[in-house]
Structure 1
Amino acid sequence: MTDLERWAALPDVPDLLPGEDRAFGAGLFVDLVPSSCWFTNVRSCVARRDWERLRRMITGRAGQRCEICGNREDRGSRRWLEAHERWAYDDRTRTQALRRLICLCTDCHTATHFGLAQLRGVGDRAMAHLRQVTGMSTADAEAHVEAAFELWHRRSAVTWTLDLTMLTSAGITLNPPPDADQRPAVAEENLRQQREF
């Protein structure tokens, strides 16, 4: 029987994770992950079985809709529902702490990761979605993106300590991410492979 335990169903993840702030980071905004934090996202830091448990909980509690624009998944237009992390950065302790998991559609997620959208050649589409959802003018949206990149540059100069206690307190198993000094090289290789694909 012990050999079968690895296939046993795990309990559901609670709809509200310990310490999660469901109001943290409300709305659609450009939220660039510092380069020193690349590959510390939840999906790369948890075991595959736990990721599936989290993903099901996130989309389920959102009613199978994007928590920003309200869109549902639409396979025909290649719009999926995706999990996104909202992080708090403590400059004093240099800690990147997970504060919220949110369900986003592909369009809102692409706008949120605007820098990656530009690298993938879909920056115009991301900008149009950002403006449509937020009601920003072109000038306001461009100023918002510029401010997000300024913050990204400042935060990328710091090595952050990762705080995922919100997950470990819910019984989620963590996989260690790449060391901070290895993340930019891993990211560059990942982007190269995506371009070739």
Structure 2
Amino acid sequence: MAVERVWLDVPFAEKDEAKKGGARWDPAARRWYAPRAGMAALHRWAAAPDVPDLLPGEDRGLGSGLFVDLVPRSCWFTNVRSCVAAKDWERLRRTITRRAGRRCETCGAAEDRDAKRWLEAHERWVFDDTARVQTLKRLICLCTDCHTVTHFGYALVRGLEARAFAHLVKVTGMTGDAARQHVRDAFDVWERRSRVTWELDLGILTKAGITLAPPPGAGARARTAEETLRRERERGRGR
């Protein structure tokens, strides 16, 4: 007899609790479900409608390939994941990975738990220097290694500079000198953009029915990371 499945939106942090309530995992769909309707213990994870494959106003051709893509200081620790509810993030993550064929959109790698390589969402932005508006225009599926390259400043903070640099060279085919210049250019752009405060436009999310909320404590975390980044960059210049 076929099992009646009622799909659920279960954030990763709540998976054990959902499992205790009777939820089951479908490895093919990579999603939790209730084995029958009417299970009261699982009502809190009742699935909302799927996010459309193309978000309203999204440009999936924007920012293809692997490159260092640093967000201005005023937007540190306010990425999409930190600004949406956990259940909404699960809906977004599912759409982003599914439409990418569950592979990184820059290097083609699949998720590999043994290698601690995950598939993650990264934001591509368009900057209006006159209005000082930073508009989200694309969500792209990246593996952990490509995502680390993209956030090269955060890689410095975490001591992952060498690993990120090696992956950048491997995926792009750049020479070492070209890759170093690419990183320097990216930091030059970051420093220029970080002189002002940017207003975030996340309309492609709100128009898709995603509720937003600013993350708590983002400012303090950003100041700590900025100081660490400054020290690491000064240390790098002295080598």
Higher normalized helix content (fraction of residues)? 1
Q: Which residue matches 1:85?
A: 123
Aligned residues of 2:119 and 2:142 also touching (Cα < 8 A): yes
Give 5+ residue unaligned stretches, structure 2: 1-41, 228-239
Q: Which residue matches 1:195?
A: none
Query: Identity of counterpart residues, as a percentage?
Result: 68
Residue number among 221, 230, 239 corresponding to 1:186 in the alignment:
221
Q: Which residue matches 2:176?
A: 138
Q: Which residue matches 1:129?
A: 167
Matched, 1:51 2:89: yes
Normalised by the length of structure 1, the TM-score is 0.89
> Number of residues paired by the alignment?
187
Normalised by the length of structure 2, the TM-score is 0.74
Aligned residues of 1:35 and 1:183 also touching (Cα < 8 A): no
Matched, 1:156 2:191: no
Q: Which residue matches 2:132?
A: 94
Distance 2:225 2:44 in 1: 30
Displacement after TM superposition at 1:8 (Å): 2.7
Distance 2:98 2:127 in 1: 28
Letter in structure 2 aligned against 1:187: A
Distance 2:66 2:142 in 1: 10
Larger RCO: 1 or 2 (CA < 8 Å, sep 6+): 1
Q: Which residue matches 1:65?
A: 103
Please, what is the CA RMSD of the aligned residues?
2.0
Distance 2:195 2:154 in 1: 18
Distance 1:90 1:34, change over 3 A: same
Moved over 2 A (4+): 4-8, 182-192
Aligned residues of 1:35 and 1:184 also touching (Cα < 8 A): no
Letter in structure 2 aligned against 1:95: V
